[in-house]
Amino acid sequence: MGKVSTRDIRKLKGTRPVVCVTAYDSTMAGLASEAGIDLILVGDTLGPMQLGFETTVPVTVPMMLQAASSVVRAKPNSLVVADIPFGVVRRSTDYVLEVCCRFMQEAGVDAVKIEGGEDLAPVIATLTASGVPVLGHIGLLPQQVYQLGGYRKFGKTEEQRVQLIRDAQALEQAGVFAIVCEMVAAETATAVSEAIGVPTIGIGSGVGCDGQVLVSTDMLGLTSGYVPSFVKQYANLRSTIADAFKSYASDVRERKFPS
């Protein structure tokens, strides 16, 4: 398989689901690429999953640039998309463009992801017109966790359903190549997917989306704290690693290693 482009992702709509996972370093990115994952998201879940923060809010541009550069150095065939972290997109359009260009030029990512709906469409339109491919993100926006007062499901009421469809259509008009739908009620996520011509990539949003994304540490059984109930765990790496460390410690203490 050759390098996946944003065009390839767009063309998957209506053919087969887009498969995405998060990765924060070269090791995981290399493994995801070898497994044929279509899109690697260098998510700002970097904060809670790798850096010990409670939320994604403390994650900064330099932290994300370092993680994105590490992922790109694996030379994955998967499309690499970096999250634009908290505090960037509500500043001037010039500043947002400057930060996105840093992700493309310094880290070498293929695209960026921006959390937000209709209100951000003008900024996103400027980015896409400037040659920055953008992955949208609607529904639960974890960067707004302090305003929301916690993580919850979106699109349960008619008003929210209508707004989510408007958000998705505005983002499509602004030129995004796909849209992440996080924690959107399944029926609404299906309606959003049917209302637009670019793929929706669901997380906790049911089977009606055009693709799925999972946080790699959650699906691999590496996360130490809370794991959302919609996650399917495909491995239990925490116990595998803990057992390996214990065996190593006992081998060293009992002088069985080195032999």
Write out the residues near ligand KIV by the rule CB under 6 A: 22, 41, 43-45, 83, 180, 182, 203, 213, 215
Distance from chain centroid for Cα 150? 19
Cβ-based nearer residue to ligand KIV, 46 or 123? 46
Cβ-based nearer residue to ligand KIV, 132 or 184? 184
Could you tell me which residues come within 8 angstroms of residue 165 by beta carbon, excluding any fewer than 6 positions away? 191, 192, 195
Rounded to a whole number of angstroms, the minimum distance from the CB of residue 83 to ligand KIV is: 5
Residue by residue, DSSP assigns 89-140 as: TTS-HHHHHHHHHHIIIII--SEEEEEB-GGGHHHHHHHHHTT--EEEEEES
Cβ-based nearer residue to ligand KIV, 25 or 245? 25
Is there a catalytic annotation at residue 187?
A: no
Cβ-based nearer residue to ligand KIV, 43 or 133? 43
| 244 token code pair | 């390996």
Of 182, 187, 194, 254, catalytic: 182
The whole-angstrom separation of Cα 121 and Cα 142 is 19
Half-sphere exposure for 71 (CA within 13 Å, toward CB) = 34
| 181 token code pair | 């739908």
Rounded to a whole number of angstroms, the minimum distance from the CB of residue 114 to ligand KIV is: 10
- Angle among Cα 153, 210, 122 to the nearest 5 degrees reads 70
Q: Which residue lies nearest ligand KIV, judged by its C-beta? A: 43
Rounded to a whole number of angstroms, the minimum distance from the CB of residue 257 to ligand KIV is: 37
Active site positions, annotated: 182
